[in-house]
Amino acid sequence: MNTRPLFALLVAFAATFPAQAQVDPATEPSVVAVSRAMPTVVNINTERVIKRTVRDPMDELFNQFFGGPMQRPRVLSQKVQSLGSGFIIDATGYIVTNEHVVERAAELKISVTTNDGKTYTARYIAGSPEADLALLKIDAKEPLPFIDLGALSPNHLGQTVLVLGNPLGYGSSVARGILSAKNRSVAIGETEFKNLLQTDAAINPGNSGGPLVDLSGKLVGVSSMKMAYTPQGVPAQGMGFAIPGDTVRGHVADFKKIASNPQAAREAEAARARARKLFGLTLQDLTPKLAETLGFPAGAGVVIADVDGRSVAEAAGLKQGLVITQVGRYEVTSVQQVEELLKAVDSGSQVDFTVVIARRVNGRDVRLRETVQLIAR
């Protein structure tokens, strides 16, 4: 059988269709988005000094029977480093990250490395433990690339999202997924974070504070946490959470007001300094919204927003979410008031903190009160 006429017919038929154009990987939407957004991403390295008080057991015995220590307790210092991510939000060098990445301490040092390998010392401007957001500032000689908070992603369910950051210390990493859900609530210890975005894109340690962007390079949110296990202990996969871009934009506006007022910036820093330095406590005012969440009237005390590891506060069992209503014999209603009371406290001094926790038992609101004695480090 002569197949040449049939072959010629097939060749002629194929010639009527244009050759399939080859796709250039450089033009893929995700590649273009990364090229726009990645230059804004920074690696954040923090170093802080944790101090802990050590007593001799015999000194404790002497204190028990004779009412006073034989000698002052020893104070040991230890340097602790942590890694995280952030991103530049304007050409002058303002940077957004998570508050837990740059949690404050008196001796905190913040080092920021930009995507081009340059390293800067950053200043902490302001932050919110409740929102888990913080604003930093670096000074560069040239204008810096940035993600515009004025043009956010529309955040459609199912849209492709990219996680940018420095997971596990590996710089300039990208993970891809979709926007899985909105308005999620996640409880971490005694604190509940609300209105979070959920994504199946991989968020790992070190990604915290980095941007979640869409395929146009616009901000979707700020990577915050992932869920490895449910509260019931069931393993979870593909569940990461981010703070929505509009929430970030609102808090940054408040943070910049502090930045524009040097006196307010000093007061914001002072509001954390002594409680953290002496006892390892980060305190926060009991705002109406936070008071409602914790079951307290507004202004009924101050909230423990964070507790330093290996601090005297941690050793005494104090935890995030507890409310301090009294320092010594004075009732307190603000962080500033606590700091004023602590101005007279030196290392080795003993201070009584009255701590209250609200619980609902058998349908009734119950407040448990306890006085905790802490020795300033």
d(CA 335, CA 286): 9
Task: Tell me the DSSP string of 8-51.
Answer: HHHHHHHHTSPPPPPPPGGGSHHHHHHHHHGGGEEEEEEEEEEE
* Helix boundaries (H) for the chain: 4-15, 29-37, 57-66, 245-259, 262-279, 288-294, 312-315, 335-342
Place of tokens 């959920």: 198
128 is catalytic: no
Closest to 351 in 3D by CA, of 314, 312, 321: 312
Please list, in sequence order, all residues whose beta carbon lies within 8 angstroms of the beta carbon of residue 310, skipping any fewer than 6 positions away: 50, 52, 78, 280
Beta bridge partners of 281: 307
Count Cα atoms within 13 angstroms, Cβ side, for 27. 3
Q: Among 100, 173, 306, 308, which one carries the catalytic annotation?
A: 100
132 is catalytic: yes
- Cα–chain center distance at 245: 15
Cβ(20)–Cβ(52) under 8 Å?
no
- Beta carbons within 10 angstroms of residue 69's beta carbon: 16
Q: Among 85, 132, 153, 224, which one carries the catalytic annotation?
A: 132
Count Cα atoms within 13 angstroms, Cβ side, for 47. 7
Q: Among 85, 173, 208, 223, which one carries the catalytic annotation?
A: 208
77 is catalytic: no
d(CA 374, CA 377): 9
**Looking at the chain, how many residues does it have?**
377
Q: Which helix (H) or strand (E) holds 324?
A: strand 323-327
Instruction: Identify each DSSP E strand in 55-139 by its residue range.
Output: 74-88, 94-97, 109-113, 119-121, 123-128, 133-137
Query: What residues act catalytically?
Result: 100, 132, 208
